[in-house]
Amino acid sequence: MSEELQKQAQAKLSEARRLINEAGELAKEGQFALHFGETGDFVPRAYFDRELLRPRATALLESRGRQNHALRIEDPTIEWGYRYEEVPNTPWAELDESERASAIEEEIDGLREEMNVPYEFQEYGSAKQADRWWAPSRC
């Protein structure tokens, strides 16, 4: 009985490894990060190569415009004394070339931040370790 359970467990582990590898291939194709417990993190090459994020950033800006920061408005009627008021997005068509370039760079920074790449990878990882599963030493 124990031997049969051991064979079943090994088969499950093999299947799990295959699925994890498939997930990594999908992340590589889509250039997004994945996090999976002790297996580690899949960090895409796009984290290091900003040019891979440029088309996505440009498409986001063209569709929704450049996001503007909210304004802090003093308001003595509120407990903490101020509130924030949203400023509408600036449409892509209204941005000049230099504004577009800086907005694209800001959007790329935001996309990189959204990847939630672990601190350890940011500190100790490199572009050579991108596009595959990575886990720091668990020692």
Task: Say if 1 falls within a structural domain.
Answer: yes
Task: Say if 139 falls within a structural domain.
Answer: no
Based on the domain organization, do 90 and 128 belong to the same domain? no
Based on the domain organization, do 58 and 92 belong to the same domain? yes
pLDDT in tens, 47-62: 999 999 999 999 999 9
Task: Say if 23 falls within a structural domain.
Answer: yes
Number of domains in the chain: 2
pLDDT in tens, 105-131: 999 999 999 999 988 888 888 889 899
Q: Which residues pair with 132 in a beta bridge?
A: 43
Q: β-strands 82-85, 40-43: how paired?
A: unpaired
Q: Which residue has the tokens 């063209």?
A: 62
138 pLDDT above the threshold of 80: no
Task: Say if 27 falls within a structural domain.
Answer: yes
Cα 57 to chain centroid distance, Å, stands at: 12
pTM, entire model: 0.78
Query: What is the domain extent for residue 104?
Result: 48-114
Given a contact cutoff of 8 angstroms between Cβ atoms, the answer to whether 41 and 118 are in contact is: yes
**For all residues of the chain together, what is the average pLDDT?**
91
